[in-house]
Amino acid sequence: MARQKKQQFNVLEHELVPEHRVLSPEEAARVLRELGVEPWQLPWISYNDPVVRAIGAQPGDIIEIKRKSFTAGEIKVYRVVVAYSRK
């Protein structure tokens, strides 16, 4: 049986995946202060998420996601990376 070559796919280049980036500690502190929340109060995203792995985020990091919106133009949402996901 021939060994199959694993296909490489960059999830960040897919047209349906919005822009993700890890915030610096200073940016994260500013965002939390502006929103008036603690990190655990942000929506969670698993460190096993393909995009999280692709951008190299670690548990505890805060990710900014820029989404396109027909009504608002562009919105920014924030997620905290966790070592597990809620079920």
- Determine contact, residues 63/22, Cβ cutoff 8 Å: yes
Number of domains in the chain: 1
Asked if the structure places residue 64 within a domain, the reply is yes
* Domain CATH for 43: 3.90.940.20
Confidence (pTM): 0.81
**Per-residue pLDDT in tens (0 to 9) along the chain, 87 residues:** 455 556 577 888 787 889 999 999 999 999 999 999 999 999 999 999 999 999 999 999 999 999 988 888 999 999 999 997 555
Encoding tokens for residue 29? 């502190």
Task: Name the DSSP class of 74.
Answer: E
Residue range of the domain that includes 58: 18-82
Asked if the structure places residue 28 within a domain, the reply is yes
Asked if the structure places residue 24 within a domain, the reply is yes
> Could you give phi then psi for residue 20, rounded to 5 degrees?
-120, 145
Task: Name the DSSP class of 16.
Answer: T
- Determine contact, residues 20/63, Cβ cutoff 8 Å: yes
Q: What is the pLDDT of residue 21?
A: 96
Asked if the structure places residue 46 within a domain, the reply is yes
Residue percentage of the chain with pLDDT more than 70: 89
